[in-house]
């Protein structure tokens, strides 16, 4: 596990890892459009938008795939 330390807080860089929208959909075995629908329905975590592109946190993707998303 990689941890970056600054004067204000400890930041776990692994928790900040992102995956692009289409790659996240592919990992889930669905289309990008279906992933967009899941986000709208609250089934999947909201993306982080950077320069007009959608990215998802790797931790959110892993939680979803391991079934933890259903516990929320």
Domain boundaries, the chain: 19-71
pLDDT tens for 12-65 read 446 689 999 999 999 999 999 999 999 999 999 999 999 999 999 999 999 999
- Kindly report the pTM of this predicted structure: 0.71
Burial per residue of 16-35, b for 16 or more beta-carbon CB atoms within 10 angstroms, e otherwise = eebbebeebbebbeeeeeeb
């Amino acid at each position: 596990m990689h941890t970056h330390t600054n004067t204000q807080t400890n930041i776990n860089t692994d928790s900040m890892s992102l995956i692009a929208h289409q790659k996240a959909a592919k990992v889930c075995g669905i289309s990008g459009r279906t992933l967009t629908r899941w986000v709208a329905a609250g089934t999947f975590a909201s993306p982080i938008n950077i320069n007009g592109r959608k990215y998802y946190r790797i931790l959110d993707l892993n939680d979803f795939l391991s079934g933890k998303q259903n516990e929320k």
